[in-house]
Structure 1
Amino acid sequence: MPSDMQARIDYGFDKALAIVGIDAQLLGLWSWICVCRAIPPQEVRRWRQQGRLIEGVKTVFEAVPLSQRGVYYAWFLQYQWLLDGTPHDESIASKNFAALVGNMLIAAWRFTGGSSNDTAAKICQEMNALPLTRRACYDLYSVLICGSSPHPVRTLWVDFGFVAAMNGVEEDELRAKYMQLIEVCSFGEFCTAYESSSIPALFERYGVSVSHYRLFLDVMAGTPSDNKSVWDLKQYIDILASPVPEHVDHPPEPFLIAFVDYGFANCKDPDDSKLLDDLYKKLFWDSLVDPLELHEARVRGRLLEYVKKFKFVKYSPHAAKYSRLLKSRHSVSVLA
């Protein structure tokens, strides 16, 4: 992410601050152009000086076959106002965001077979009448079609397996695989698979593979009704790593089951909570711990022994705290 303020203004990052999460997408867009397509920085600078950043970006994408443009082009077409050269304005940003949401709503509606003549108000009315599971599928389509992934704070993050991604590359891959899938299967077929916890089987049926399939399969085996608590823990840690949407006015907290299973219920003060936050952040972010191994250790009441295997855990200064915090509250017989 550019740290120079003028660069942030020149290339859209200042405006991107108005909407949580899109700065990462904008960075991905510029990375694709400058790294993947090897466009020299001098050329990009020339576009800006000539007032044709948007035109330049479009030219690069349109020189590539449609099947190779990835997820960023569709996203860029929704957010090209970031590069239109106008100064940042909160009211304009709000209007642009409202228009974007409306466009997402209509695009997903048409993609799933809705009438192109239906208004946004009509679509909202129809959507509100849908069962919650079908509404979740529609919400996912809305996010995917605009070139994004669900935010970790949303239930979609777990319900559609994004929580199984251990890094941004796997997240982007899963988003692309979902796009590949929904282009060949019907919306009804997708909803039925989701409701029966058989999304992975739908991927297989259409020959769409996911690299981190083992973890993805484990998450999807429980959605939309039930999941291992380790995935709730992973979602909590993913939320800590992400900009929190503006409508969330309080710090994230571990979900109830993970709160109990992974030691947070044993915390006596904020220092205890921070110790666990730091521990799990390092496990998931730095060590790329296998979530299913972590789950197994917790089930067997060996959570403390498991985390001590990792060299980054400075156990000695906090031995008593770790022993108290990671003490199992369940027996193996209860959870086996």
Structure 2
Amino acid sequence: MVRECNACIEPSSKLKRCSGCHKVWYCSITCQKSDWVRHIFACKPRRPINTADHLALAVRNDLLPHDPQTCKDYGFDRALTAENNSKLFGLYIGLIERMDIPAKTINDWRVRGVLVEEIKAAYSQIPAQSRGGYFPWFLQNQHLLTTSPQAATDSQLNDERDIMIRRAWHFTGGAETDSPEDIRTSIARMPRDKRMCHLFYELLLSKWYPAPFHSLWIPFGFCSCANEAEEMCLGRLYQGLITKCTFDEFCDAFSSARILNLFHEKGISVNVRNLGDALQGHNTNKSVWSLKQFAIRTDEENAKAAVRSPFAFDYGFMNCRNDSEKQALKKVYRTFFERRDADPLALHDAAIHGNIFGYIRSLMKLNAKYERLMKNPYPLPDVE
């Protein structure tokens, strides 16, 4: 019987079944080990799943962790700013991805109360010139992983959020004398598009940009980026743009789907494939962008809610008979979007012509079951 590897999705008749859940198959030990970071959450592991497993999954998906206890255990809820969260995340990427330190070991460090010391020891084994910038930053911010009096309090967190809001408020022309309460009230009364722009300014002025789990990831075109490096580049271009235009200009361009024109008017060259399509209308985006967001983000609760979105109709999720089929279909789409040659608009075109299976199969090997799962009612018949 031909099945597909749960890691590389290669069909084969010589796969070995996972001994834990007996539901998935692998073509090699390498694939099984690689997929364990994700599969542990669907399997029956011999040990309880811990927050280090959530951290490792976040690293694998290149997305900041959002599990509350994980954020608490590994310092993200005390990092205060988006910039510091990014640097802390980079530190863990170095440990988990580059040094190949397993989640089980990192959990053991935390439980024994030696996380800071072990992180220092791990990085000390790397030549100083190869440690990157995250470790020197960590040496100045070790308190994020301790429970010392230096650790941030809830009031400090609220103060930092107020700082981000006030920074954007003053940058966009708000009075220096306005209180935090006045600022929040004024923002709440703004039209929806203007509120979205203000929130975007808060991120940009904190040297950050929307990630896939953020509500602004699609409206401001980050969904069109091929990878995180391109997202960072687009974020820097936006940071340059807001210094060359007024807030009203930016809001008007956003509401009228003219952001790309505004870039050009201000002399900023933007070379992000499909950005123009993503910015055409933030209220009428093609469902393929919502599909991409759903496929690559990791929040299971949000993922289940997202299946009720329009893309579920367009891309076959209504054909799934159970959660296992939904997850399998999601995984195929995630694999597609992770490819260097992935073209979301070509996938959209295939969808409206009722040929999703044929298009994706032309790029990667697929089990025949996906022909049923990827069916949709398109092309719609002509109405006379």
TM-score by length of 1: 0.72
Q: Any residues of structure 2 matched to 1:1-336 within 5 Å, and which?
A: 14-16=74-76, 23-28=85-90, 40=129, 53-54=139-140, 82-84=141-143, 87-88=146-147, 92=152, 94-212=154-272, 214-223=273-282, 225-240=283-298, 244=299, 251=304, 253-254=306-307, 256-311=309-364, 313-315=365-367, 319=368, 321-332=369-380
Q: Matches of 1:306 and 1:47 in 2, distance apart? A: 47
Note closer, same or farther for the CA distance 1:222–1:125 as it changes in structure 2 (3 Å cut): same
Q: Which residue of 1 aligns with 2:19?
A: none
- State whether residues 301 and 332 of structure 1, in contact with CA within 8 Å, keep that contact through their aligned partners in structure 2: no
Shift of 1:140: 0.3
Which segments of 5 or more consecutive residues in structure 2 lack a partner in the other structure? 1-51, 56-72, 94-122
In structure 1, distance between residues paired with 2:374 and 2:142: 49
Separation in 1, partners of 2:132, 2:316: 53
TM-score of the superposition, structure 2-length normalised?
A: 0.64
Residues 282 and 334 of structure 1: CA distance in aligned 2, closer, same or farther (over 3 Å) = farther
Distance 1:104 1:286 in 2: 36
Q: Number of paired residues?
A: 280
- Give 1:157 shift: 0.8
Aligned amino acid, residue 185 of structure 2: Q
Structure 2 CA distance for aligned equivalents of residues 234 and 109 of structure 1: 32
The 1:85–1:108 alpha-carbon spacing in structure 2 relative to 1, beyond 3 Å, is closer
Letter aligned with residue 379 of structure 2? S
Structure 1 gaps of 5+ residues are 6-12, 55-81
- The change in CA–CA distance for 1:298 and 1:19 in structure 2 (over 3 A counts) is farther
Residue type of the alignment partner of 2:293: Q
- Take 1:136 and 1:45, find their aligned partners in 2: how far apart are those partners? 31
- 1:274 deviates by 1.1
Aligned letter for 1:26?
L
Amino acid at match of 2:352: V
**What CA distance in whole angstroms lies between the structure 2 residues aligned with 1:328 and 1:249?**
23
Task: Specify the code of the residue in structure 1 equivalent to 2:287.
Answer: S
83 and 221 in structure 1: CA distance in 2 versus 1, 3 angstrom threshold: same
For residues 21-73 of structure 1, the C-alpha deviation after alignment (integer angstroms, 9 at most, x for no partner) is 86544345899xx9xxx96368989979xxx943xxxxxxxxxxxxxxxxxxx
Instruction: From the superposition, tell whether residues 88 and 291 of structure 1 become closer, same or farther in structure 2 (CA, over 3 Å).
Output: farther
Percent of residue pairs bearing the same amino acid type: 28
Cα distance in structure 1, aligned partners of 2:297 and 2:131: 37
